[in-house]
Amino acid sequence: MPLRFGDKPQNQLRAGQSSVFTDVGAVTAGFSTEHEWWGPGIDNTLVLSNNAPGFPHLIIRNSHPLETRIGEFDFRWLVGGLTTSAFFDTATNRSSRSIAGAVIAVRPRGAENLSLGFARTVIGTSTGWGEIPLRWLEIFHNTGHPNDGAPYDSTLHPGGRDQLFSFFGRYAMPAAGAEVYGEWGRMDFPRNLRDLLVQPNRGQGYLLGLQWTRQAFTPQGRVHLRLENTSVEQSLALQNKFAGVWYTSRRVLQGFTNEGEVLGAAVGPGSSGQSLELNYLVPRGFFGVEFGRTRYNEDVHQASPMLDYLRWCSHDVNVQWGLRGGFSSNWGMISVRSLYQNRLNAWFQSGHGCPRSDAMVDIRNNNFTLMFSPGVHW
């Protein structure tokens, strides 16, 4: 991924969160550059999120929940084009990439507080934007196992297709003021039942989260707690059967990204992250505290030819904490956020071994955000 987006000013005019749709009965179809967020995660989600800039796509979706004997269904099916990063590398061949994706979720009849779903995206190399709108059926394509042998085997030439898929679920408990949710995905399908039983965690990623709210201090006051853990790191026990790094691809250069930014979990390729929020909510606003930790590029760290005496203490980890709050008035809403970050051993920079030495590089960054949203009320 690019560490920075060039060293020159940028001036761009974008379509932003724009779309043009038409309704045909229970189905809506059209063109959009809006973000798609698939799954129950709040900080991250495995397949599609708002982390990368929105990409142009055609989409078909239901205009309202579809009632069946099984339960209520929602679906989305899209095909679009992805743009490469202008700062990723010096490659002269910047052919376009296509993405076909579909997601379906169901709320079973008799268990309306439970939601279950499945999502899959397939990316492919393309010779031009003209053929991308015709790739609707790519979502059903068997992409095989293109990342077998990574990162050491370089015999596979780019060109073809790659995939990500996930199963997800959410269960709400209104009486308890709580919900739990999770998502589990893989980079490829098991070859057979034996493969699934022997190594079910090969190429996996997962997300777990919960929220809990209860009345506190005043009749209308609420305490809100939220926890979320995301990991797309691969197990060290599977190094001899390495399945690749999430969001990268040996067949499709620049992988599951748009303009150099990951389409899924914001923690990034081969990484993991945890977050915690504790808030106090009142009718006119809120205030709270947050904590977070992200370990970056751990799969690259384990696979790179790093000296053994540097490896165990040079993980690239970001820790952060912050304060946040907001107040709503007749004019709109004002919110503030103050965030304090410390990135430890940035990009694995450690020169003199372990334990800690002066050669390690930590980066501290403080951020303050003040936002006014006219006409928005808490």
* Contact call for residues 162 and 139 (beta carbons, < 8 A): no
For residue 208, the model assigns a pLDDT of: 97
For residue 151, the model assigns a pLDDT of: 62
299-347 pLDDT, tens digit per residue, is 888 777 777 666 677 788 999 999 999 999 888 999 999 999 999 888 8
192's CB contacts (< 8 A; 6+ apart) are: none
For residue 239, the model assigns a pLDDT of: 59
Confidence bin at 154 (pLDDT 50/70/90): low
Confidence bin at 367 (pLDDT 50/70/90): very high
The DSSP string of 189-247 is: --SSHHHHHH-TTTTEEEEEEEEEEEE-SSTT-EEEEEEEEEE-PPPGGGGGG----TT
Cα angle, residue 20 at apex, residues 14 and 26 outer, rounded to 5°: 145
Q: Spell out the domain ranges in the chain.
A: 1-204
Confidence bin at 81 (pLDDT 50/70/90): very high
How far is it, in rounded angstroms, from Cα 47 to Cα 160? Answer: 19
Tell me how far apart the 2 most distant CA atoms of the chain are, in Å: 67
Number of H helices, E strands in the chain: 3, 18
Confidence bin at 14 (pLDDT 50/70/90): confident
Confidence bin at 115 (pLDDT 50/70/90): very high
**56-60, 93-97, 222-226, range with the lowest pLDDT:** 93-97
For residue 247, the model assigns a pLDDT of: 94
Q: Is the pLDDT of residue 203 over 80?
A: yes
* Contact call for residues 34 and 18 (beta carbons, < 8 A): yes
pLDDT > 70: what percent of the chain?
89
For residue 357, the model assigns a pLDDT of: 59
Mean pLDDT of the chain: 88
Q: Is the pLDDT of residue 96 over 90?
A: no
For residue 348, the model assigns a pLDDT of: 82
Q: Sign of the CA dihedral 121, 138, 150, 252?
A: negative
Confidence bin at 368 (pLDDT 50/70/90): very high
For residue 190, the model assigns a pLDDT of: 87
Confidence bin at 158 (pLDDT 50/70/90): confident
pLDDT > 90: what percent of the chain?
61
Q: Is the pLDDT of residue 92 over 60?
A: no
Q: Is the pLDDT of residue 90 over 60?
A: no
CB 323: neighbour CB atoms within 10 A? 14
Q: Which residue has the higher pLDDT, 131 or 337?
A: 337
Confidence bin at 43 (pLDDT 50/70/90): very high
Confidence bin at 146 (pLDDT 50/70/90): confident
For residue 19, the model assigns a pLDDT of: 94
Confidence bin at 93 (pLDDT 50/70/90): low
For residue 153, the model assigns a pLDDT of: 66
DSSP β-ladder status, 257-258 and 71-82 = unpaired
